[in-house]
Each structure stands twice: as C-alpha cells, then as structure tokens.
A and B are shown apart, each in its own frame.
Chain A
Amino acid sequence: MHITTNKEQDIRIISIDGKIDSFTSKDFQDSLITHILDGDDKILIDCSKLDYISSSGIRAFYFALRELNSNGIIALCSANENILHVLELVDFHADFPIFNTIDEALNQI
C-alpha cells in the first residue's frame, strides 16, 4: 500500500494505492489520525487505486471518525465495484459519504 496526500481548498485528499488489509491498515489509520490531529476536518479518501479493503480497514475508518469533531467529514470516492460491495454490506454510507468521482466529492463536501 502506498499513501499520497494533497490538499485542495480545505479538503485533505488521501489517495490509496494497493490494499488495505490487516498488515497495512495500521499505516492507513495512522495517516488518517495524523491529518485529523493536524486540524484537517474534511477528508476525502481517493479509492481509484485501492484494490481491496478488509474489515481492519473498515475499523480504521470508524476509529478515525471517532477522533473527528462533530462538523468533520470523512468521505470516499472512485471506489471499484468489489469495494463498494463490501462497503455496502456493512452499511458504510450511513457514516461515510461515498461519491462516484473526485469532482463530485469536492463539489459536495
């Protein structure tokens, strides 16, 4: 897994390349928490290069969500079908908005 981040306006965009599984979820979680502690409260996870997400990855999202203030948001965009299927299973969109494209996400957050 490879993480790259940039900031557009006030939105922190985190792009994930590879898998978030039980081996890499800790790094992903650390990355999220670091940005939240740095003051980012609008976070968009770009999943266009994400191959797979395991339950530990989902756990990392919820862990980060808990650290975020009540006005904060963690959103996802550009996830592939398999990932969407997994996210759908656990009712992910109830807590994390899911967008089809990055532009859509940036407009609506």
Chain B
Amino acid sequence: MKTTLRSLSFTTKMLLLILVILICTTVAFMLLTQHEVEKIMWDTVTASVHDMRKLISLYVDNEYRSLLFHKEYALNRYKQQLKNVTGIVVSDIEYYHSLYEKDILSEQDAKAFALESVEKFRYGNNDYFYIYDTDLVAISHPDPNIKGTDMTEYQDVKDNYPLKMIKDDVYKTGNCFESFWHIRLDESKPVEKLSYNYYFKPWNWIIGTGVYIDDIDKDIESKLEEILSEFRKIFSKIRIGENGYFFIFDNNHIMLVHPTMEGIDFADIDIPGRGIEHWKHLVEASKNPDKAYVYFWDKPGDEGEYNYKKNAYVDFFEPLDWYIVSALYVDEMKEPSKRIFHSELLIALAALLIAFIVTFFLIKRFTKPVKILTAHAKQLTENNFGFTDSTELTNLTKSSRDEMGNLAQTFINMEKTLQKYIHDLKLTTAANEKIRSELRIAHEIQMSMLPKTFPAFPERGEIDIYAMLEPAKEVGGDLYDFFFIDNDHLCFMIGDVSDKGVPAALFMARSKSLIRSTSMMLKKGLSGIPSPSEIISEVNAELYTDNEHCMFLTLLLGILNVKSGHISLTNAGHNPPYILKEDQIELIELPHRTPLGLRENVLYTSEELILYDHQSIFLYTDGITEATNEKNEFFGEKKLEKTLRILSNSSPYTVLKMIIKEVHQFAGQTPQSDDITMLAIQYFGNKTKE
C-alpha cells in the first residue's frame, strides 16, 4: 500500500513537522549569514586592498619625490660649481681689463693676456672655458675645429640651437645656464652637458664652461633601482587574501616588480586563448583605477592553466610611467565565508540531530497517554462495552495532571456512563422487542381473521371475488369480509376503523366479529335475509356502547343475490363503490350516514342496484386515494377512476393487482401510511364460471 501523509502516525507527523521547521530555519539562517558574511568579507578585503593601494601610491610618490629632490640637489651643486669656477675666470678677465683701463696694458694686449689665461685654465675633469663674441664666433675654444668658427648655426644632437639661445639669454640677464646634448664616442645614448655662460660686456665676450651631468641620471637610476629593490622586498611580503599580490610594470611593459615574473617583458607572455594583449587591457583598466578589472590568471602553485578569477585595480603613476597593479583572487575572498558556512553546517547538523532525538522522546512521552487511551477504547469495543481493566487509565489520571489526565478521567466517567447506558439499552431493547413481537403477533392474528384463500368459492360459478389488504407498517384498522348468509346471498363489506395502532386493530376485530354474528343472528330472528341497514344499525348500537374513545368504523356493507344480481347496499361514512361495466365505470352515490360507533341512533337505509352479466362492483378504502408520493400529492379518485376505466372488463384479481401496482408506482419511495384495502366482485349471472 502506498504510504500517504495521512496514514502516518502522529509521532512521525510531528517529527517530520519539527524536522521540516528546523531544516527550513537552519537553511534560511545559513543562507542569510553566508550572504552577509560574504558581503562583509568582500567589503573588508576590498577596503583593505584600496587602503594598500593608497599606501603604495603614497610610498611610490614619496620615493619619487625624494628622487626628484636628490636630482635637484645634485644639479644645484653642479650649477654652483660652474658659477664659482666661472667667477674665477671672469675675475681674471676683469683684472686684465682693469690693467687696460689703467693704461698699463693696451686693449689688445689685455685681451691677449686674458685669452691666454682662459685658454690655459682647466678644472675638474679637464674641463675648460670657451669665449664667443657677439657674432657667436669662437674666440677661444680648446677644439681647434671650433676656434675661429661662427657657431651661430650649431645644432646639438637634439636639434637645438644652444648658442643662439645662450646669446638671447645673456643679453637679457647677463648670465644663463644652457644644456648641450652630446653623444659620446663609445655610447649611443645622448648625454647632457650643462653650461654656464657669462656676458662680459666691456669686450662683448660670452664666457662659458660646461660639465657633463649624466652622472646625475646615473645616480638617479641607481637610486631608482634601489627603490625598486626595496619595493620587491616589501611587495613580496604583502599578500592580498592568501595569494593575491601587487606588481608593477612600466610603459615598456617590462615587469618591474612581480613575485615570479620580474624583468620579463609583459608582451612576451602568451596566455592560451587570449594572446599577448593582456598588458594592454591592464593599461586600459588604469583609466578606471577604482573599478575592478576581472580576468583569469594563474595562481602560485598551479601555473599554466590561467583559470583563477582575479580582480585587479590598476593605478598609473605618471611621473615614472609605472602601472601598479593590485590583484586578488576572487575565490580566496569567498574562502572565509565558506569556512564559516562549513562550521555552521556542522553545528546545524549536530543541533538538528539533538533536536530530533529530544523531540522523538518528548513526543513518545506526550503520545503515551493517547496510546493508552486508544488501547483502552479498543479493548472496550472488543469487549462489547463490557468489563475492562481501567488500572492503566486510573494511573494516568494520577501521573499526568494535565489535559491528558483530564481526558483519561473523562474517559473513565464516559465508560461508566456508557456501560450503564448499554445495560439500560439492553433491557429496553428486550422489552421493546417483546412488545414488538406481541404487536406482530396481534397483526398476524388480525390478518388471519380476513378470508385470504382465493378463489374463495371455487364451486360458485356465478361470481368471482378477490380482495386484498396491504397493511401499513403500523398496525391499522382496515377490514374486508365476505360470506354466504344462505345459499344465494353473499354478504360482503369493506371498512376502515378511525386511527391506527392496537386500539384500532382491536376495534376492527371486534367490529368484524360483530358484523358476522349480527348477520347470522338477524337471519335466524327474521327467518329471512336481513338488509344491510338492519345489520349496520344493530352493529352501530353495539359499538356505540362503551365507546369511550369515540373509535368509529366507516363501513360499506352489501348483500348480493347471486341468482339475480341484485345488491342491497348500505354506506356508513365510507368511500362510495364503483360498478365496472363494459368499458365504463359508475360511481354509486349512496346516502352518506354517520360511521359506526359515533351516534346511538342513526337511521341507516339500504339502496338497491343490479349487477348485470360480467359487471363488477369495486370497493376500496382511503388508503388508495390518500396514498402520497414524494411531492406529498394524493393518488386521488381521478387516477383511480382512470385505471378502473381501463380495467373495467378485467377479472377482480387483475383489477386489484393492477391498481396496487399503479399505487406503488405513484408512491415511489414514500412509505405507506395507511392500510390499502380493496374488494371486487365480478358477476357472471346465474351461470357457471367460464
């Protein structure tokens, strides 16, 4: 058999219910917490990533500033040195000029001495001075190719016209710094030479000297390298999440700082399926530094697959053309919430198990009284509400003082009441049964008083007679009878005692006996056939006497002369009879008289009529016409007459059977409330029955 929810025991249902509630709560709680934890963790890690980014940017910026400062400082030192040295040379020239002014030397000599002095002057790393006139012709220069040459159109390797610029500047301010860019013989990269120029106005000389300052850049580069190595140290120690890290690459896609790929050209990294464009995407992502750029990458310890989802934030540090990337692994961000989820799951399972066990025992305990009650009830029915052992139930009322205890007590009380009731019921039923069987016997006796053997007079060909009484459930008071008073005179009757029940039955029995005895008595007394009115008058007087309850009998009494077909008929308050002729019927309206038993002196009269050959007389009680159907309608005279008309040529047996069939059909399921009685006599004339 299929197990449905309904067929489960109460215990199982409760357990299932509690289990479902617990699981639902736990799952809801876990989903909620996991979601919250994940969100919080994500926010926390993201915030810390942003903090670190800021910190790193700050650090890089700081280092860069110190680098700048360093560079500036070095440059200023060179400048000061150049100024100082130039000061010495210029003071020499001024000295010779002053000698000319004091007329110690001619101007030409003074210039010659000055030039000689400048030409011989060396400092630093064999550094020298040059002098240009205002036409930018080199008056003094150690290089014989330059000396005496107009250098106005000289261009350095960066296509500047440094001498033109110097000339412009010194005219304005008297002195200036200017850079020349040279390429050294054994080098490819241009190096900067810083020059300081002084305009010696008395002789329109531009005196200048220069030093190579590429050592500053070299110094800066080595400093930068120091910074990078510092970064590498620091970055290698910083982890985002478990394996997330920072890395830096420059605008030449060279990996400056990276835990594993330091110094590698980023553009050389060919990621399966995605090519070498990855660095470009990162550069692109630097335009939105606060938005995570999502991509798939290796994780340390599982290289070559590029299937770990990463979130990267790319900051571009413009002064150095650096891209600083903070990259974290998404799965690691979710790791803590996963760990919390796992421990939650363990706790929830344990709680669930404990709750299940506790509930199981609790329900067992709660339902135990119910089980005892059920078992007891079962025992009670099995014993047909007889004696049962109530010890367990009594114990229950003592042990549980709750609703269950009350229920048990009520049960015990109910059982006592029930047993008493059953006992009483048995006695009452026995008594009722006795009465009922007596009633049944009374009814049987009543019925046995009616002539029920048909054909009733097989030897009499003159008539065919048939009668029937269909009793209602209750004992009723209908009667019919027929008997020959003498050889030629058939007395027949149909009657109905008022009301129903045993009194009516007794009254009917008494009436029937009275009518027979009265008929016989009168026949003897009169020495002839008495008329129906004489019989009825006699019987009425007898019934009226001591009729305290005013019982009465409606009676139709007739005497048929089977020789002639003459009928003498008296009606005492009964339904009038019909004569069934060929294809038609006739209602015999007789003077109505008070039913028997109600009045002491009633003048009953007899009416005469004749039955011709094959005609019938039909008598009935109101059980026919007052038979009701489901709509509470009466069968009625009209229906009866219609049926009789159809049956007017039929035998008494057929007439009665067909009518009763009609009545049954009409009544349907409606119970019969009154006795149904009919009597019909067909007359065949003074002949033998065919």
Query: Residues of A with Cβ closer than 8 Å to B?
Result: 22, 25, 54-56, 58-60, 62-63, 66, 88-91, 94-95
Contact = CB atoms under 8 A, between A and B. Distances in A.
Contacts of A55: 496-499, 552, 554
A95 B592 contact: no
B499 A22 contact: yes
Interface of B is mostly: loop
5 contacts: A22-B499, A62-B552, A90-B573, A90-B592, A91-B593
Nearest to A57: B498
Interface stretch (B313-321, B594-602, B652-660, B678-686): B594-602
Contacts of A89: 554, 573-575, 592
Nearest to A21: B673
Contacts of B549: 59, 63
A59 B575 contact: no
A101 to B, nearest CB: 23
Contact of A58 (B552, B574, B575, B593): B552
Interface of B: 496-500, 549-552, 554, 573-575, 592-595, 598-599, 602
B554 A95 contact: no
A59 B550 contact: yes
Nearest to B603: A94
Interface of A is mostly: helix
B499 A91 contact: no
A58 B594 contact: no
B620 to A, nearest CB: 13
Contacts of B496: 55
Contacts of A88: 592
Contact of B550 (A22, A54, A66): A66
A64 to B, nearest CB: 9
Contacts of B500: 22, 56
B499 A59 contact: yes
B674 to A, nearest CB: 8
Q: Which of B496, B552, B592 has the most CB of A within 10 A?
A: B592
A95 B551 contact: no
Contacts of A60: 550
Given A59-B551, A59-B552, A94 B498 contact: no
A55 B626 CA distance: 12
Contacts of B592: 88-91
Nearest to A64: B550
B473 to A, nearest CB: 13
A25 B599 CA distance: 20
B594 A90 contact: yes
A25 B594 CA distance: 20
A95 B552 contact: no
Nearest to A90: B573
Given A89-B573, A90-B573, A91-B593, 14 more contacts: A25-B499, A55-B496, A55-B497, A55-B498, A56-B498, A59-B499, A62-B550, A63-B550, A89-B554, A89-B574, A91-B594, A94-B599, A95-B598, A95-B599
Contacts of A90: 552, 554, 573, 592, 594-595
Nearest to A55: B498
A90 B550 CA distance: 14
Contacts of B602: 91, 94
A90 to B, nearest CB: 3
B550 A91 contact: no
Contacts of B593: 91
Nearest to B554: A90
Contacts of B552: 55, 58-59, 62, 90
A58 B594 CA distance: 11
A104 B72 CA distance: 145
Contacts of B499: 22, 25, 54-56, 59
Contacts of A54: 499
Nearest to A82: B634
